[in-house]
Amino acid sequence: MRLHVNSGVLMKLELKATKKQVNKASGWEESIVLAVIDLDKSNAYPTNFVCMLPADLKPRTKQPSIFMQTFGDEAPKLAKTLLLKALNGEDNAEVKNEIHKRLKTFEVTPPVEAQCVVCHRTFQPKRYGRYQQRVCPACRQVQET
């Protein structure tokens, strides 16, 4: 079933931060996990549990998270709204850090700029593995002819 955020039905969604032991390559580590809860359902956790807020919100064709499945196209927008809301009411520094980290993934990274070694104009270089273009497209065209 797909739920729609704007229908007003889901206005009582919130995030609940809990600590969990996560098995990582480096061993067991304590991580903060964020669960989506529905206060319309209940005020008590975990009765009001909806799903986990995944760290990765990029749409994946294989195995989309329950959060993505449930909220579809609205998932990223809802995630951001929930994170900002959670940040407001949060005092725990560790949880705040985690929320900031998640919010960072929504920031658009500005395009990389480089200065052309020939004409010194700035341009957006392409990367090929570790190699990054140092000559702008215009100068490259001149060099090739």
CB of residue 132 to Zn ion, shortest distance in Å: 14
Instruction: Please name the amino acid found at residue 23.
Output: N
Alpha-carbon span 123 to 11, nearest angstrom = 45
**Interface with Zn ion (CB under 5 A), residue from 3, 17, 87, 139:** 139
The span of 21-29, 40-48, 96-104, 112-120 binding Zn ion (CB under 5 A) equals: 112-120
**Interface with Zn ion (CB under 5 A), residue from 13, 75, 83, 136:** 136
Alpha-carbon span 133 to 122, nearest angstrom = 12
3-class secondary structure, 34: strand
**Interface with Zn ion (CB under 5 A), residue from 119, 132, 141, 142:** 119
Locate 31 and state its tokens. 């991580």
Tell me which residues in 25-44 interact with Zn ion (CB under 5 A). none
For residue 37, what are the β-bridge partners? 14, 49
Q: Is 142 in the site for Zn ion (CB under 5 A)?
A: no
**Interface with Zn ion (CB under 5 A), residue from 74, 114, 118, 133:** 118
> Cβ distance 53 to 79 under 8 Å?
yes
Residues forming contacts to Zn ion in the complex (CB under 5 A) are 116, 118-119, 136, 139
